[in-house]
Amino acid sequence: MSNSRERIFNSLRRGLGRGPEDAKAQAAVNARLSAMARNLVPQRAQLPHPQQVKLFIEKITALTVTVQRVASTAAVPDAVADYLVLHNLPTEIRMAPHDELRALPWQKRPLLQLSEGPGRATDLVSLTPAFAGIAETGTLMLHSGPQNPTTLHFTPDNHIVVLRASQISGSMEDAFAKLRAQVGGADHWPRTVNMVTGPSRTADIEGVPVLGAHGPRRLHVVLIEDVPQDAAQAQQP
């Protein structure tokens, strides 16, 4: 640790009445981090899963996000191609180098031109997976990694996200609990975790809403219905 940084930390410790090696305080911090106490979760986020899916769609479409529900992964290429045609977009797609996206039957739509890698200034359309959808707010949880370049979430004007219904959680707390369980500890935590609630917009200048200020102008979700119907019915109240 640099001398200047150590001086700053020592000053903070003195203000808190702690020594440089306060084992009791460190133990309290470690206990708090390991406990991961949850905040209060609103009742609307504690619904049965089928209702969470319904709430997620209601919330996210209210934010001018479009959603197309498909029966299986096999229907994803058609859904992506249809979206491009609907908005008169080119067939070039910058795709996240993710195993699940690679495994999709893209040969069904041979006119689609897929390339992999980080987002570039020249890319108009990106395609990425999402880690979770949050029903309470209609938010997408996206995290960085070798198979998930963060620039794909923000650089292109059009962002297409593939999400499974089983990935939808009631609350942000639930989504973070799943992420912690998957990454297996702080040493493996993603460099960035982005919470995306609708397309990029701002009204900073004279109160005029502008789309695409800090990210995509359009956000489209292809939602795969991967929850078996019998399981969904069993969760109904």
Q: How confident is the model at residue 13, as a pLDDT?
A: 81
Tens digits of pLDDT across the chain (237 residues): 568 888 888 888 888 877 766 777 778 777 776 777 777 778 888 899 999 999 999 999 999 999 999 999 999 999 999 999 999 999 999 999 999 999 999 999 999 999 999 999 999 999 999 999 999 999 999 999 999 999 999 999 999 999 999 999 999 999 998 998 888 766 788 999 999 998 866 655 666 566 656 668 899 999 999 976 544 444 443
Contacts (Cβ under 8 Å, ≥6 apart) of 73: 100, 103, 104, 105, 224, 226
- The encoded tokens of residue 214 equal 């800090």
Q: In which order are the strands placed within the sheet that holds 139-143?
A: 168-169, 132-134, 139-143, 193-196
Going by C-alpha positions, the residue among 159, 160, 150 that lies closest to residue 70 is 160
**Cα–Cα distance, 228 to 48 (Å, whole number):** 14
Indicate whether this model's pTM tops 0.75.
yes
Q: How confident is the model at residue 55, as a pLDDT?
A: 96
Q: How confident is the model at residue 193, as a pLDDT?
A: 94
Q: How confident is the model at residue 233, as a pLDDT?
A: 45
